Amino acid sequence: MSYRAGTYDDSHRPLIDLIPNDSLYVSDEEDGFYDGEDNYLINPKWKASVQRVCNHIPRRLQRYLAIYIGLLVAAWLVWQTFFSASYNEHQQQIALMDSTTKETFGSNLRPHFKHMIQVGTMDKKHLPVEDKRLIVIGDVHGCKEELQALLEKVGFDADNDHVILTGDMINKGPDSPGVVSFVEKIGASSVRGNHEDRILLTITDMENSHVALPGPQENANRTNDTLEEESFSQGDYKIRKLAKKFSKKQIAWLRERPVILRVGHVHGMGDVVVVHAGLVPDIPLEQQDPYQVMNMRTIDLKTRVPSENRDGTPWEKFWNHRQKKLPSHKRMTVIYGHDRKRGKNIQKYSKGLDSGCVGGGHLTALVIDSKGKNKYVQVKCKQYID
Amino acid sequence: MTRHERGYDIRSLQGLTSNTRDRSGKRGDPMGKYFHESTFDSHYDGRFAESALPNEERQIHLSHLLRTYLATMNDLGAETWIMHGSLLGWWWNRKIMPWDSDIDVQVTEASLAYLAAYHNMTVHHFAIPAVVGDSTATGPKGSEGRNYLLEVNPHYENASPGDILNVIDARWIDMATGLFIDITALRKDVAAEKAGVPGRMLCKDRHHYLSTDIFPLRESMFEGTPVRVPYAYQELLEEEYGKKALTVTQFHGHVFEQEKMMWVPKFGLAVGP
């Protein structure tokens, strides 16, 4: 084998140099191999810049971020499972409260009863001007001592102050006739509560001589009544017994109390009315169903039918909602009692004052002065009933 | 069974009815059923009428029937009040609803016993002036005005709702048209009381109530006449007919027009509920 020098020298150069054109080979591992095709997820330029930014954020902060995102997801899950439904319900309730339907409660000829005054108006001279005050008191239920203690506490002054009771001043407690006499003596206003209503109806029934007369020969003017066992009140002897305790004068006074008392315009409060239980919004006072004004607790938002049970929406919630929709001069504030369970319940356009005195709670007074300032004063009551 | 318990048939009412034939459904009724509805319509007494009245005419007679009943009960001192469809009619506009074909009233047990003891089978005469379109303005024998019969079911002493043939305790019957008012007594639910639940009441027609929802009664007006209605009238109506019955102003082919406070027939409205 012989090697020529020239050939030998050439052999010392790397073989690759002998390839005339090195562009023949392209590696698919090179970055540029896939250039021109848009099948990447994130533009590498962005990716790079994100990475650059990330590198500037401390690791600890990155960890926190992950934790926060985790918490956010958890919160969302909790919302979905526990609160979303009630929130939707709330939204639905608002929508119902805002809706106006044509077929709604109160289209009928308002029920009308003998010996029942629907609307009364308080004498203008009692309106709180200058140093005059209005003192509105919740359900007294025969608790005369507490009523007197409360008036003492608010510094009741017969010349300047006018007292209004929200009804149910009688029954359950120790001295119903005493309360009526006292309230009458101080010239207070009051509305008819469901307890006054029941007693007055019972009294009317007792006055009417009917039922099971022992025959046509019976003397119509008899004074003793033999109806005790079989009569109208069907065993409600407690009511009958209480009914007999009132004098004719007291009964006459009680009968004159309206179902709704229009107090009038009070500075800072607008138009004020007093009822025992509640009112249905958007129905004139004259058109309000008297039974429900004395008994309601809730309103069914779909039909606007009020009810004494608690299945619907609290009437005062609906009332406040609707008042805010009215022009301010048409808004009305209702002061009421009746709902011992919900107790003292103060909202912008409704003031619930029954704080369960007779059951050992408090007797509440709302004192309104000429500037429209509302002050609540309470006394603790003895427990007379469970 | 005595004749009394089988009811007074047309022969025993001679001179009191203008019917020549007995149209009562007595023959088709089971033994032991006291009151018999007519063969032509269950709202008529077949001893006093041979055919049903046209609708509009019927409403005039129903109104008379109601007013004479209320006035008589008031005079006699029997305690009665309206229920069911009549109470709903009262609630809307103090009138019988134009599509109502009967009147529903209840009495206390004591009042029923009193009516049974002293006023059963009494005829009450009312000088009711003739009404336009009224084909029966004069009563039998050409007398002016109209006669009504108060008839008590002798089975009233059986308080059991199981006595399904005699759920109606008494009737107030228009002797000229055969229309009548079913009277049912509201009774103490003795079984519930024994079980320790006082204050429950029921009728033989199986309607039951809380005594505090019915009593004390309220005095109002119905068809222009003083009437008594139950204490918790609205709650009772809602329980029986639902909230819609107190809000829906299109019903049974009628529209409640608020300007007139009247149910007015409307052409094109469905007659069904």
Domains along the sequence of chain A with CATH: 19-99 (no CATH), 119-193+257-380 (3.60.21.10)
Average predicted confidence (pLDDT) for chain A: 86
Q: What Cα–Cα distance (Å) separates residue A301 from each residue in A55, A319, A322, A337, B185?
A: 59, 11, 12, 22, 37
Average predicted confidence (pLDDT) for chain B: 87
Q: Compute the average pLDDT of residues B157-161.
A: 86
- How distant is the Cα of A290 from the closest Cα of chain B, in angstroms? 10
Position B139 pLDDT exceeds 60: no
- Of the pLDDT bands very low, low, confident and very high (cuts 50, 70, 90), residue B141 is very low
Q: What is the pLDDT of residue A138?
A: 97
Position A211 pLDDT exceeds 50: no
CB pairs under 8 A between A and B: 117
Q: What is the pTM of this model?
A: 0.83
- Of the pLDDT bands very low, low, confident and very high (cuts 50, 70, 90), residue B244 is very high
Q: Which residue has the higher pLDDT, B73 or B197?
A: B73
Order of strands across the sheet that contains A305-307: A305-307, A298-300, A313-314
Burial A58-86 (b: 16+ CB within 10 A, else e): eeeeeeeeeeeeeeeeeeeeeeeeeeeee
d(CA A159, CA A92): 50
d(CA B152, CA B139): 22
Q: What is the pLDDT of residue B225?
A: 95
- Of the pLDDT bands very low, low, confident and very high (cuts 50, 70, 90), residue A25 is low
pLDDT digits 0-9 by tens, A238-279: 888 899 999 999 999 999 999 999 999 999 899 999 999 999
Contacting residues for A149 by C-beta, under 8 A, at least 6 apart: A363, A379
Please report which residue ranges of chain B form alpha helices under DSSP H: 3-6, 55-76, 84-93, 109-118, 190-194, 211-214, 233-241
Position A39 pLDDT exceeds 70: no
Q: What is the pLDDT of residue B271?
A: 59
d(CA B194, CA A207): 32
Token pair of A365 as six digits: 């007074």
- How distant is the Cα of A254 from the closest Cα of chain B, in angstroms? 16
Q: What is the pLDDT of residue A84?
A: 82
Closest CA to A290 of A306, A272, A302, A314: A306
Residues A113, B77: C-beta atoms closer than 8 Å? no
In degrees rounded to 5, what are phi and psi of residue A314? -50, 130
Q: What chain A residue is nearest to B258 in terms of C-alpha separation?
A: A107
Considering only the beta carbons, identify the residue of B74, B216, B246 that sits closest to A205: B216
Q: Which helix (H) or strand (E) holds A271?
A: strand A270-275
Q: Find chain A residues with C-beta within 8 A of B246's C-beta.
A: 105, 108, 303, 305
d(CA B82, CA B214): 10
Token pair of A217 as six digits: 């020969």
Position A65 pLDDT exceeds 50: yes
In degrees rounded to 5, what are phi and psi of residue B129? -65, 155
Which ipTM did the prediction report? Answer: 0.89
User: Which is it for the CA torsion A93, A99, A103, A105, positive or negative?
Assistant: positive
Q: Compute the average pLDDT of residues B129-148.
A: 60
Q: Compute the average pLDDT of residues B222-230.
A: 96
Q: What is the pLDDT of residue A22?
A: 58
d(CA B73, CA B76): 5
pLDDT digits 0-9 by tens, B28-58: 888 888 898 888 888 999 899 989 999 888 9
Any A CB within 8 A of B79 CB: yes
Residue B107: Cβ within 10 Å count? 22
Residues B211, A236: C-beta atoms closer than 8 Å? yes
Q: What is the pLDDT of residue A232?
A: 42
pLDDT above 70 covers a percentage of chain B that reads 90
pLDDT above 70 covers a percentage of chain A that reads 84
Position A5 pLDDT exceeds 60: no
